[in-house]
């Protein structure tokens, strides 16, 4: 089974259609599939529903898909730091379904694990619980949340072997494994594709079964908030 | 003299005990890390890290290593990394002893509002709803009044809630208040602040 593709455009060939649901990995700008996002922008596919914790920033990451008005709806937990997002939302051009961050992650994980729904305490007594089934377990109230079954996952890892076994780096792992799991098809971009057999099987973070197409490329890896401390404090 | 930001953070740090795993929110709560002293505290960052270290030295920033506020940080010898589903599994599962976070409003029943102002501010709840629903103890650190001088300690919150009946302790620039069954209890006042000063700046029931 061939998983390696030469470019993001080729890797997405035949997978994109208007109105589809895409799950994207990343937290803020950390660990986002920047090459695949650029390819989605280039494709011109529209009316997208995107499940992603954030929507990038103005002009970078998923923010690029806002500039081109390709997104119809976002499923996110946090959309600050993005003026265009706020503008489109407040003017009614863009729909947003706010999900608590952990609920979003678990909805992706659950969808990928074949679990259509689960109960959680998160959001009970808030607007998030409106219209959702409430149920008592062990004397406490929980709400029903549904698994996400996306048409496509776009994710980013640090390294993968040719079979898609993937390793992430530090906090760039974040939403990438659950996002990868919940898509019918998952396309992954990595900084380095290494020969199969060169990764220690005990250290694989995401088994290749979840990865259908794979590309390698150069990443800008932009930093959103550069914070440092003075040397003297050491 | 009411407490300043650092003094509020220092007071909040006193609530932390040896061995605790703790999640600190953005703003004043982040400063709490500066005052844990010799206590063995492990900080969780909900984007997928336990054992969060200080900001990096200039030139050592790593785009793959950020905290939940998207700031560059460092790792420690004890650090572990995991994905977002695992991260919120430990939060929802009650493994994190305490969360210290900011607030726009807190009610006398411990309701918390800190994620949106309808029509004005739409940023999202991030991980706050999961944290307040899941962690052992929720400690709010905030100014007692807003920029207009209006109290942030209300009978009922007016803004959309982050969690209902979730707050355990409130540390403001004026003092420390505990959420009880019938209202708030004043546990401590900032220097030269009286119980009456706190009552005057509070709408919530103080018992």
Looking at the DSSP assignment, which residues form a beta bridge with residue B202?
none
CA angle, B96 then B158 then B111, to 5° = 25
Model pTM?
Answer: 0.96
The per-residue pLDDT for range A23-80, each reduced to its tens digit, is 999 999 999 999 999 999 999 999 999 999 999 998 999 999 999 999 999 999 998 7
- Residue range of the domain that includes A70: 8-116+148-216
Mean pLDDT computed over B25-49: 94
CB contact under 8 A, A170 and B134: no
CB contact under 8 A, B61 and A81: no
pLDDT of residue A79: 87
- On whether residue A193 sits in a domain, the answer given is yes
- On whether residue A85 sits in a domain, the answer given is yes
CB contact under 8 A, B85 and A108: yes
Closest in A96, A128, A175 to B129, CB measured:
A128
CB contact under 8 A, B92 and A105: no
pLDDT of residue B123: 85
In angstroms, the separation between the Cα of residue A81 and the nearest Cα of chain B is: 8
Closest in B56, B66, B165 to A30, CB measured:
B66
Interface probe, candidates A25, A101, A109, A142, chain B, greatest B C-beta count within 10 A = A101
The per-residue pLDDT for range B54-100, each reduced to its tens digit, is 999 999 999 999 999 999 999 999 999 999 999 999 999 999 999 99
Looking at the DSSP assignment, which residues form a beta bridge with residue A225?
B71
pLDDT of residue B38: 93
pLDDT of residue A165: 98
For residue A104, give the CATH number of its domain.
3.40.1080.10
CB contact under 8 A, A109 and B85: yes
Closest in A31, A90, A226 to B72, CB measured:
A226
In angstroms, the separation between the Cα of residue B193 and the nearest Cα of chain A is: 34
Closest in B70, B91, B119 to A225, CB measured:
B70
Give the dihedral sign, CA B59/B63/B69/B75.
negative
Structure-block tokens of residue B84: 């977002």
Partners of A231 on chain B (C-beta within 8 Å) are: 57-58
Task: Give the chain A residue nearest B79 (alpha carbons).
Answer: A170
The per-residue pLDDT for range B7-22, each reduced to its tens digit, is 999 999 999 999 999 9
Supply the residues of B annotated as catalytic: 46
- On whether residue A24 sits in a domain, the answer given is yes
- On whether residue A67 sits in a domain, the answer given is yes
Partners of B58 on chain A (C-beta within 8 Å) are: 228, 231
The per-residue pLDDT for range B132-180, each reduced to its tens digit, is 999 999 999 999 999 999 999 999 999 999 999 999 999 999 999 999 9
* Partner A contacted by B102 (CB < 8 A): no
- On whether residue A230 sits in a domain, the answer given is no
Closest in B55, B65, B160 to A127, CB measured:
B160
In angstroms, the separation between the Cα of residue A69 and the nearest Cα of chain B is: 19
- On whether residue A143 sits in a domain, the answer given is no
pLDDT of residue B48: 98
In angstroms, the separation between the Cα of residue A194 and the nearest Cα of chain B is: 20
pLDDT of residue B119: 78
* Partner A contacted by B65 (CB < 8 A): yes
CB contact under 8 A, B123 and A78: yes
ipTM of the complex: 0.96
Interface probe, candidates B119, B129, B165, chain A, greatest A C-beta count within 10 A = B129
**Residues in chain A with pLDDT values less than 70:** 1, 233-234
pLDDT of residue A233: 52
- On whether residue A122 sits in a domain, the answer given is no
pLDDT of residue B26: 87
Task: Give the chain A residue nearest B55 (alpha carbons).
Answer: A228
Residues 6+ apart with CB under 8 A from B66: A27, A28, A30, A171, A223, A224, A225, B47, B72, B73
The per-residue pLDDT for range B87-138, each reduced to its tens digit, is 999 999 999 999 999 999 999 999 999 998 887 777 899 999 999 999 999 9
Domain count along chain A: 1
Task: Give the chain B residue nearest A92 (alpha carbons).
Answer: B119
- On whether residue A156 sits in a domain, the answer given is yes
């Amino acid at each position: 089974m061939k998983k390696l593709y030469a470019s993001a455009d080729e890797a997405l060939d035949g997978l994109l259609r208007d109105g589809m649901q895409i799950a994207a990995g990343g937290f803020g700008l950390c660990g986002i599939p920047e090459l695949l996002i650029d390819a989605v922008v280039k494709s011109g596919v529209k009316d997208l529903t995107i499940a992603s914790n954030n929507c990038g920033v103005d002009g970078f990451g998923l923010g690029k898909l806002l500039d081109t008005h390709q997104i119809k709806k976002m499923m996110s937990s946090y959309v600050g730091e993005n003026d265009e997002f706020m503008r489109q939302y407040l003017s009614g051009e863009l729909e947003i379904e706010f999900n608590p961050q952990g609920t979003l992650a678990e909805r992706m994980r659950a969808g990928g694990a074949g679990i259509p729904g689960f109960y959680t305490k998160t959001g009970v007594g808030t607007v998030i619980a409106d219209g959702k089934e409430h149920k008592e377990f062990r004397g406490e109230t929980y709400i029903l949340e549904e698994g996400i079954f996306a048409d496509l996952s776009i994710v980013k890892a640090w390294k993968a072997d040719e079979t898609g076994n993937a390793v992430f780096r530090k906090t760039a792992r974040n939403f990438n494994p659950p996002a990868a799991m919940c898509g019918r098809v998952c396309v992954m971009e990595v900084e380095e594709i290494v020969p199969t057999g060169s990764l220690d099987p005990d250290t694989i973070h995401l088994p290749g079964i979840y990865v259908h197409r794979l590309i390698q490329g150069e990443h800008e890896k932009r930093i959103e908030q550069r914070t440092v401390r003075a040397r003297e404090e050491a | 003299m009411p407490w300043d930001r650092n003094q509020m953070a220092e007071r909040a740090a006193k609530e932390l005990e040896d061995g605790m795993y703790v999640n600190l929110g953005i703003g004043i709560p982040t400063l709490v890390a500066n005052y844990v002293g010799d206590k063995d505290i492990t900080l969780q960052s909900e984007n997928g890290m336990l054992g969060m270290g200080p900001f990096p030295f200039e030139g050592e920033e790593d785009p793959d290593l950020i905290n939940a506020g998207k700031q560059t940080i460092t790792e420690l010898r004890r650090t572990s990394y995991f994905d977002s589903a695992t991260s919120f599994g430990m939060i929802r599962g009650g493994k994190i002893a305490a969360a210290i976070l900011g607030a726009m409003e807190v009610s006398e029943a411990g309701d918390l509002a800190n994620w949106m102002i309808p029509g004005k501010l739409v940023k999202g709840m991030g991980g706050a709803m999961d944290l307040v629903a899941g962690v052992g103890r929720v400690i709010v650190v905030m100014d007692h009044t807003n920029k207009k001088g209006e109290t942030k300690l209300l009978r009922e919150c007016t803004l959309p809630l982050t969690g209902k009946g979730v707050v355990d302790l409130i540390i403001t620039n004026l003092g420390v208040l505990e959420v009880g069954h019938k209202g708030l209890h004043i546990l401590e006042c900032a220097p030269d602040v009286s119980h009456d000063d706190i009552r005057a700046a509070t709408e919530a029931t103080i018992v």
